[in-house]
Amino acid sequence: METRELNCIVCPMGCPITVTLENGEVTSVTGNTCPRGEKYAKQEVVAPIRSVTSTVKVLGGEWPTVACKTKTEIPKGKIFEVMDALKGVSVDAPVNIGDVIIENVAGTNVNIIATSNVKAC
C-alpha cells in the first residue's frame, strides 16, 4: 500500500488530501471537502493534468499579444510541448475571446483558444 499527500488545486481552499493506492489503484481519498477534490486527487496520482495559459503574438492589433489557454486540461508532462507549439505563432487582429488559435495543440486533442480581445488598430 502506498499513500500520497496532496494539496488540492481545484479551488483556493487548497484542502490537504491523502490518497492511498494499492497496486496503482486508488483505494481511498480523504481530506477533501468536495467531490471535485476527490476527482482531482484520483486524477493527480494516476495521470496529472493542467491547464496552460500563455500569450501569442498579434499583428496589427492595439496590443502586441493576445492571451490564450488550452480549452481543457492537458497531461502535465505536455506543458512544455504546448509552450513550444505557441512559439512563433502569430494571429491577425482583431482577435476575440474564444477564437481558436491552434487546433489539437502538441497532439493533445485540445485546442488553444484566445482569452482576451484585441482590437485592430
Please, what is the minimum distance in Å from the beta carbon of residue 64 to another protein?
4
Fill in the DSSP letter of residue 51: -
Q: Are strands 16-22 and 2-7 parallel, antiparallel or unpaired?
A: antiparallel
Residue with cell 497532439: 107
Residue among 4, 18, 26, 57 that touches another protein (CB under 8 A): 57
Please, what is the minimum distance in Å from the beta carbon of residue 117 to another protein?
7
The x, y and z cell numbers of residue 38, run together, are: 476527490
Cα 81 from Cα 74, distance rounded (Å): 11
Contact call for residue 43 and another protein (CB under 8 A): no
Between the alpha carbon of residue 33 and those of residues 13, 95, 112, the distances in Å are 9, 39, 31
The binding track of 101-120 with respect to another protein, each residue x by CB under 8 A or -, is --------------xxx---
Looking only at residues 64 through 83 of this chain, which bind another protein when binding is defined by CB under 8 A? 64-65, 67-69, 76, 79-80, 83
* Residue at 91: amino acid letter: V
Contacts with another protein, residue ranges (CB under 8 A): 6-12, 14, 50-55, 57, 62-65, 67-69, 76, 79-80, 83, 97, 115-117
